[in-house]
Structure 1
Amino acid sequence: MHISLLLFVSFCLTSTSAGSSVSQDRPSATIDSGVVVGTSTAIPPAPHKIDKFLGVPFAAPLQRFSPPQKETPWQGIYDASTHKPACIQQFDFPEEDRARIIKWLNTPGPPAGESEDCLYLDIYAPPKGKEPKAVLFWIHGGVYLYGSGSLPLYDGSILAAIHDVVVVTTNYRLNVFGFPGSPEIPEGQRNLGLLDQRLALDWVQRNIAAFGGDPEQVTIFGESAGASSVDALITSPPHPLPFRAAIMQSGHKTLHPESSDSEKSWKKLIELAGCKESDALQCVRKKSALELKGIVERAALPFNPILDGVTVSKTPRRDRLSSINDTSAIARVPVMMGTNANEGSMYALPLARNTTEEFLHLVLSYLYPRGRPKGLLEALLKAYPLGEAGVKTEVGRMDRILTDVLSQCPIKFVADDSALVEIPTWRYYFDAGFSNSALFYGSGAYHSAEIEMVFGTYNTTDAPAFQVEVSRAMQKAWTDFAKDPIRGPGWGKVPEIASFGDGFRPGSSVEGKAVLEVIAEDLDKRCALYKGFYTG
């Protein structure tokens, strides 16, 4: 609930987090742990300001490699006017790869740097009304190695102001700090980053009403590893369920679940850190965060979730398919999922020196480490001929293959499974590229390109009118779904697919281009080539 600061004027209270005096006209809320004070911001063309509460703690101070605990109460007023640090980031060497990822996916980076003290979330809230608002809870991506809820890309101000929803973005622990592979840690406590997400959702259930949000109208949404996290919450749900709907953008955690690299990486880490196996966990706990960060980045050690049966189901596809008879198997909530037209472009560019055949050898050795099915390589080369629409170069060909293999086809299979067991399921497709957001010439609708369109955080100073229209349509679809997930985002359920952007690219004409259309053509025509791998 909002509290008048006039009650505190005579006491000249100071901020818990920054030690500065608090202005009377700043918005405040009383939550489980105390009073928080934020800021108000005007977002044209909205007729009202929105309130921002940044860097609000949802957990007690952390003990390294231990599960998160509920936040501790504070005395006085907590100043929630600025972002708090991101969790420790991992950008692997060599320097060329590291610099490229930072430039493409982390610029501008976390506004407050990074720290182990990082379990904070940000709330963007419109003015309270007679009825509580729907809530959108965002889980960022970054292959579980990097990322932050405080990145400017994820600013929820426009969604809150224009579409009258409450937006929450959260941090969670990453890399070795979030997914340590130590055998000394109980299996159910190793996915610390996913436990962090669950605690943040618990915080929302307990506190979001103070910001005008409805804890019974929470939609979780995320992109890439964030979408994978959303799917993990669906297929291995917390109890009681802290959300009523879900959106998965370019990611899943259902098909072909893999064993984690974390245990192997942990063994290498303790070797490089000079620790003995007999007391490895204690030894690594004593190392500085900066030293551990340096080791994992230079050795490029991957740390990611394990199939623990607690936060990640060991049989997610079977659980989804059996849920029509066993409704407790998964969270049978309405779901929207989709992909971008050029999911593979940023991964294909560094492989430009390879031919498609050489590239396919790499892909198939990954998909089928024990040997690929006979004739598959030849079938793939035939299925992606050069000269076809959108496939004019070897790099474009690789982009198309990676898009199908990594995103489009698996999302199709998950959506089909979901619809098969009568879960309300919608699918979207983002197919537009704009010069003010391109990663490089020809990057197209690359992996993560839709995020700024959904949040409205693209560069508006030179945005063409068509980009503005596409972004508004996507914002409306996402928020309409959050407000009424039974009715849906505004188009028919699977097998229909809503396409945003109509293939627009820099330099092309907008004449005749549709902002949103239901696709008639078969986008998934090559997915049969991968069905055996993903669903067999």
Structure 2
Amino acid sequence: MTALALIVLALYTHTILASSFGHSSQPVVVKTPAGTVAGRSDGSVDQFLGLRFGAPPVRFNPPQPASGWEGTYDASHYRSACIQKFSYPEDARERAMRWFNTPPPPGEEGEDCLFLNVYAPAGAEPGSKAVMFWIYGGGFSFGSGSISQYDGTSFARDQDVVIVTINYRTNVFGFPGSPEKPKSEQNLGLLDQRLALDWVRNNIRHFGGNPDLVTIFGESAGSGSVEILVTNPPEPVPYAAAIMSSGVGSVSLPSTASARSWQKLIRAAKCDTQNALDCIRALPAKELKDIVEHEQLTFFPIYDGVTWTGTGRIDRLESTSKDSVISRVPLLIGSNADDGGVFVYGLTDARTVVGKLLPKRLADQVDKYINTYASFGIIARVLGRFNPLLSTFVTEYSFQCPSKLVAEESVKVGIPAWRYFYDAGFANSAIDYKGSGAAHSSEISIVFGTYSRNDSTPFQVELSKGMQKMWADFAKNPHRGPGWAQAPLLSHLGAGVRAGGRQGEGEPIMRVVKPGRIDARCRLFTPIYNAAMRTLARN
């Protein structure tokens, strides 16, 4: 089950395409309680970039609110991203950047990185617009709110909403795993997210946003972060709805990766175990980053009892009581048809991979699972370095079936929940292996409207406009929903189009379908998810 936790949490994101203003922008000024801010506007959208929501953080310490300033704060450009941890060696790094559409963040990266960006309809009246608060993925290892895929200009302009994208600390800088730190100070990246939400609650009305109508949304590890915020809400609850895309963590057991990686880090840095925390703190940031990358050390959130209890599924099922510990806000939950492919490319031995993913107690049933998938006609032969059976197994086990479970269990306890299934692949965003399809994170540029216009198809343009409107409609009126019936029914988005295949002409971008055909194998995994819940309940 540890492998499932890692896959659910180690979720990558991103796609490349700029939609910047160019040279036509004009200054736009907003007054906030902290001071005056000068952004830029093209007449339809006001951008306020690199706004500081946290003071320069002390390494391995919880974030602190930003102070006010004298004069005018220049919010016309992005500020530093948090320190990234990518794959190693170089060919693996480049492949990860390409497949997860993850360019290095614009500008520099550093420890002083607690900044956010606001995209608002030009001239919006204070407090008048729904707000959508984006949390990026990246496996809790990398990410930035400022990469081009998350440019909120199209979203704000076309849907009349305020978009907020944030930075938060990742890898060892965000989740150190040091035994010298109390549990309450281990999930620094999650605390960063909460501080950014505090900033939005206190300031967003000055930029046109309604602080009482905030939807938190994210993909992959960002989606896991959203679920953590929903099941372990701050007080008062700073959001009215939540969207989770390709990543929920409430069906998995905790990872111990951070604690193990911290010990390896101490050895690699040649630190004395008696004062390891001070030793690691004293390392130059570049040296610490290099060690973590070269040693391929992974750091994830832990169950700290503050930001994350780990009992989200149990608490959800018990949330009909008046003492519910979760926030019962409306949910929009979904996954992609080929989420798992990028995680298993090059891993062609199905027995070995499935054996590592399943709990140890099911080691003697690996062949049963593989044969069940083969009986559905899923290709078992390897195509180059791609195994379609493995891709489908990981897609369903780690993304699709957990999404189904959370959506349907939410509805059963009276929480409004809608579900979607993204099923489209386009030539201008395809990954360079056969079978990539509707890959992990491929829907983000469609939702944000930042997909490449080069070689785009009419269906892709229509799908992007439609999905963007569905997401925005949900944010504007969460209880009314995105435009289709609640779970267990789901919205099949994208008509199954593929690069080099059907292009979708004349087909609807959405069909509301019953879950039976799409989720036919999810029943295989329900006992595994239930066993994880029972284990957490005992603890």
**TM-score, with length taken from structure 2:** 0.90
Shift of 1:330: 0.2
Shift of 1:153: 0.4
Shift of 1:99: 1.8
Shift of 1:377: 2.3
Tell me how far apart the structure 2 counterparts of residues 187 and 452 of structure 1 sit (CA, whole Å): 36
Q: Is the 8 A contact 1:237 1:331 kept in 2?
A: yes
Shift of 1:385: 4.2
Q: 2:174 aligns with which of 169, 172, 178?
A: 178
Alignment of 1:471 onto 2:430: no
1:39 aligns with: 40
Residues 97, 326 of structure 1: CA spacing in aligned structure 2 closer, same or farther, 3 A cutoff? farther
Q: 1:518 aligns with which of 499, 512, 515?
A: 512
Which stretch shows the higher mean deviation, 123-132 or 241-250?
A: 123-132
Alignment of 1:382 onto 2:385: no
Alignment of 1:267 onto 2:267: no
Q: Which amino acid aligns with 1:457?
A: T
- The correspondence of residues 375-454 of structure 1 with structure 2, limited to 5 A, is 375-385=365-375, 387-388=377-378, 395-440=387-432, 441-454=434-447
2:352 aligns with: 361
Q: Which amino acid aligns with 2:319?
A: S
Q: Is the 8 A contact 2:138 2:221 kept in 1?
A: yes
Q: Which amino acid aligns with 1:35?
A: T
Q: Is the 8 A contact 2:81 2:108 kept in 1?
A: yes
Q: Is the 8 A contact 2:126 2:206 kept in 1?
A: no
- The correspondence of residues 72-91 of structure 1 with structure 2, limited to 5 A, is 72-91=67-86
- The correspondence of residues 147-186 of structure 1 with structure 2, limited to 5 A, is 147-186=143-182
2:537 aligns with: none
Question: How many residues in Structure 1 have an aligned counterpart in Structure 2?
Answer: 502
Q: Is the 8 A contact 1:175 1:304 kept in 2?
A: yes
Shift of 1:260: 3.3
RCO higher in structure (CA 8 A, sep ≥6): 2
2:92 aligns with: 97
Shift of 1:421: 0.8
Corresponding residue SS for 1:332: coil
Corresponding residue SS for 2:149: helix
Q: Which amino acid aligns with 1:268?
A: K
Corresponding residue SS for 1:145: coil
Q: Give structure 2 stretches of 5+ with no counterpart.
A: 1-23, 532-539
Corresponding residue SS for 1:479: helix
Q: Is the 8 A contact 2:184 2:305 kept in 1?
A: yes
Alignment of 1:250 onto 2:246: yes
Please list the CA deviations of residues 329-350 of structure 1 after superposition, one character each: whole Å capped at 9, or x if unmatched.
Answer: 1010000000001111212322
2:529 aligns with: 534
Alignment of 1:121 onto 2:122: no
Q: 2:474 aligns with which of 474, 477, 481?
A: 481
- The correspondence of residues 225-304 of structure 1 with structure 2, limited to 5 A, is 225-304=221-300
Shift of 1:68: 0.5
Shift of 1:100: 0.8
Tell me how far apart the structure 2 counterparts of residues 187 and 138 of structure 1 sit (CA, whole Å): 26
Alignment of 1:145 onto 2:141: yes
Q: 1:342 aligns with which of 338, 341, 354?
A: 338
Please list the CA deviations of residues 479-526 of structure 1 after superposition, one character each: whole Å capped at 9, or x if unmatched.
Answer: 000000000000000011001111001232424422111124521110
Tell me how far apart the structure 2 counterparts of residues 294 and 135 of structure 1 sit (CA, whole Å): 37
Which stretch shows the higher mean deviation, 325-334 or 207-216?
A: 325-334
Q: Is the 8 A contact 1:273 1:284 kept in 2?
A: yes
Q: Which amino acid aligns with 1:516?
A: M
Which stretch shows the higher mean deviation, 250-259 or 159-168?
A: 250-259
Alignment of 1:371 onto 2:364: no
Tell me how far apart the structure 2 counterparts of residues 108 and 406 of structure 1 sit (CA, whole Å): 25
Which stretch shows the higher mean deviation, 384-393 or 223-232?
A: 384-393
Shift of 1:196: 0.2
Please list the CA deviations of residues 5-41 of structure 1 after superposition, one character each: whole Å capped at 9, or x if unmatched.
Answer: xxxxxxxxxxxxxxxxxx9951111223211111112
Corresponding residue SS for 1:227: helix
Tell me how far apart the structure 1 counterparts of residues 25 and 414 of structure 2 sit (CA, whole Å): 52
Tell me how far apart the structure 2 counterparts of residues 269 and 108 of structure 1 sit (CA, whole Å): 26
Q: Is the 8 A contact 1:58 1:70 kept in 2?
A: yes
Tell me how far apart the structure 2 counterparts of residues 29 and 512 of structure 1 sit (CA, whole Å): 46
Q: Is the 8 A contact 2:100 2:440 kept in 1?
A: no
Residues 532, 68 of structure 1: CA spacing in aligned structure 2 closer, same or farther, 3 A cutoff? same
Q: Which amino acid aligns with 2:420?
A: Y
Tell me how far apart the structure 1 counterparts of residues 410 and 354 of structure 2 sit (CA, whole Å): 27
Which stretch shows the higher mean deviation, 238-247 or 505-514?
A: 505-514
Tell me how far apart the structure 1 counterparts of residues 427 and 267 of structure 2 sit (CA, whole Å): 46
Q: Which amino acid aligns with 1:408?
A: Q
Select the structure of larger CA radius of gyration: 1
Shift of 1:257: 3.0
Tell me how far apart the structure 2 counterparts of residues 327 and 511 of structure 1 sit (CA, whole Å): 51
Q: 2:315 aligns with which of 319, 322, 326?
A: 319
Corresponding residue SS for 1:384: helix
Which stretch shows the higher mean deviation, 162-171 or 127-136?
A: 127-136
Q: 2:218 aligns with which of 210, 218, 222?
A: 222
Shift of 1:109: 2.4
Q: Which amino acid aligns with 2:354?
A: V
Please list the CA deviations of residues 188-217 of structure 1 after superposition, one character each: whole Å capped at 9, or x if unmatched.
Answer: 111000000000000000000010000000
Tell me how far apart the structure 2 counterparts of residues 386 and 421 of structure 1 sit (CA, whole Å): 33
Shift of 1:384: 3.1
Percent identical among aligned pairs is 48
1:29 aligns with: 30
Q: Is the 8 A contact 1:391 1:400 kept in 2?
A: no
Shift of 1:241: 0.5
Please list the CA deviations of residues 432-482 of structure 1 after superposition, one character each: whole Å capped at 9, or x if unmatched.
Answer: 000001112431100000000000000013211000001111000000000
Shift of 1:533: 1.0
Shift of 1:391: 9.2
Tell me how far apart the structure 2 counterparts of residues 493 and 386 of structure 1 sit (CA, whole Å): 28
Q: Is the 8 A contact 1:256 1:533 kept in 2?
A: no
Residues 326, 317 of structure 1: CA spacing in aligned structure 2 closer, same or farther, 3 A cutoff? farther
Corresponding residue SS for 1:493: coil
Tell me how far apart the structure 1 counterparts of residues 275 and 322 of structure 2 sit (CA, whole Å): 44
Q: Give structure 1 stretches of 5+ with no counterpart.
A: 1-22, 42-47
Q: 1:490 aligns with which of 483, 488, 513?
A: 483
Tell me how far apart the structure 2 counterparts of residues 424 and 475 of structure 1 sit (CA, whole Å): 20
Residues 350, 326 of structure 1: CA spacing in aligned structure 2 closer, same or farther, 3 A cutoff? farther
Corresponding residue SS for 1:26: strand
